[in-house]
Amino acid sequence: MSLIIGNYIDNIKCESFLDKETNRIRVRPLPNQEVPITMVIECLKKFREQYPLGTKFIAENVKVCKKTNGRLYLRAKNQILQKID
């Protein structure tokens, strides 16, 4: 799948991880989905910090976005994730 800015992707499974470059907790897609695992998913800080690293979530709807520096990222609808048991 080609990632086009402004497109939406449904039901992306993801996990929290420690980004060694920024030393911040971030969320990334799990492997074997429509998006590369190198992308980050923008969501509310509480989802990143409330649960332990490696917690799995589902983002029901994400939008492909682009930072001003040219980096693509995904933004969860209303920046909300749902924890997967």
Per-residue pLDDT tens digits for 25-82: 999 999 999 899 999 999 999 889 999 999 999 999 999 999 888 889 999 999 999 9
35 falls within a domain: yes
Residue 60, domain extent: 8-83
74 falls within a domain: yes
Residue 31's alpha-carbon distances to 5, 66, 69, in angstroms, are 21, 21, 25
pLDDT of residue 71: 86
CB-based burial label for 1 (10 Å; 0-12, 13-18, 19+): exposed
Give the total number of structural domains in the chain. 1
3 falls within a domain: no
Looking up tokens 């997967």 gives 84
The token duo for 19 is: 């980004």
58 falls within a domain: yes
pLDDT of residue 16: 96
pTM for the complete prediction?
A: 0.89
Contacts of 52 (CB under 8 A, 6+ apart): 16
